Amino acid sequence: MNMMKDKVVIVTGSGRGIGRDIALAMAAAGAKVVVNDPGVGADGLGHDDGPAALVVEEIRKAGGTAVANTDSVAEWESANRIVKTAVDAFGTVHAVVNNAGILRDRIFHNMSVEEWKAVIDVHLNGSFYMAKSVAAIFKSEERGAFVHMTSTSGLIGNFGQANYAAAKLGIVGLSKSIALDMQRYNVRSNCISPFAWSRLIGTIPSDTPEQQARLARMQVMETAKIAPLAVYLCSDQAKAVSGQIFAVRANEIFLMSQSRPQRSVHRSEGWTPESIAAHAMPSMEASFYPLVRSGDVFNWDPI
């Protein structure tokens, strides 16, 4: 219950869903929490101070400590204000959970530039802005932890989510770079790929029996199941864990693979387009990754 005692944690997008449960769990573990949420719709539009305020009230009623912030992560200046809220209220920051997100799903060839940019701004740019805003604190105090939310839409693939998938895979690269660049300052950075029924997942189309079956499986996966791993990764007990990608699916925790050489071919005289066609590709073809979606890989019922 005291794993995060006296730690200050910012949880973005924590007015509802996965973020809310992470904020509640952080507070229950003893953390002082900045509950950040601008109260936008699933598409990123609108504004409502209510969700963040309600979570803060819930934490305080349970005996915890929290303050609300309703700035967006999608702009550098507003990300700085989120960090300032933590410093003004609690003096410092020990951990950031980059959970904020929106969806603008569309088949790639129909996706607008605005739909692309809106998702990249919140997920990828927002994760960078938050990490960059707090980096000086972590560096000067020689400690800190980041948890970034990725997705199997990027790690594996999915239909109609080019913007979301690109952002989520970009977050993996960002997290690894932070882990490498800041390890000398005892700063850790890890990713969680969550499987859970949330407000964003509820926007996924369910027009076909296959989609309906997929969503039915996801509806039994509770958002609260993601929180324990996030709390652990932000705690001092995870001091040896950095640069990793985890997935949480109900009661299952997975350590996800990272890109490494799978197979190689060599030709002492070098390659031509013709010899690649005749030799290289046939030699590697058996090891090609099939064109599948997340649901094709995680195709069993959650445990």
All domains of the chain in start order, with CATH? 8-258 (3.40.50.720)
Q: How confident is the model at residue 204 (pLDDT cuts 50, 70, 90)?
A: low
Q: Which of 57, 24, 17 is nearest to 228 (CA)?
A: 24
Residue 289 is a catalytic residue? no
Section 74-81 average pLDDT: 98
Q: What is the pLDDT of residues 234-281, one digit of tens each?
A: 999 999 999 999 999 999 999 999 999 999 999 999 999 999 999 999
Q: How confident is the model at residue 44 (pLDDT cuts 50, 70, 90)?
A: confident
Crossing angle of helices 162-182 and 126-141, in 10° steps, is: 10
Helix (H, G, I), strand (E, B) or coil at 299: coil
* Summary mean pLDDT of the chain: 94
Q: Which of 164, 185, 232, 289 is catalytic?
A: 164
Q: Note whether 188 and 178 are within 8 A (CB).
A: no
Least confident of 32-46, 102-116, 138-152, 243-257: 32-46
Is pLDDT of 192 > 80? Answer: yes
Model pLDDT, residue 42: 84
Crossing angle of helices 76-90 and 126-141, in 10° steps, is: 40
Q: Which pair of tokens denotes residue 286? A: 């058996």
Is pLDDT of 154 > 90? Answer: yes
Model pLDDT, residue 79: 98
> Quick one: 139 exposed, middle or buried, by C-beta within 10 A (0-12, 13-18, 19+)?
middle
Taking the whole predicted model, whether its pTM rises above 0.85 is answered as yes
Q: Which of 144, 177, 158, 52 is nearest to 108 (CA)?
A: 158
Section 128-147 average pLDDT: 98
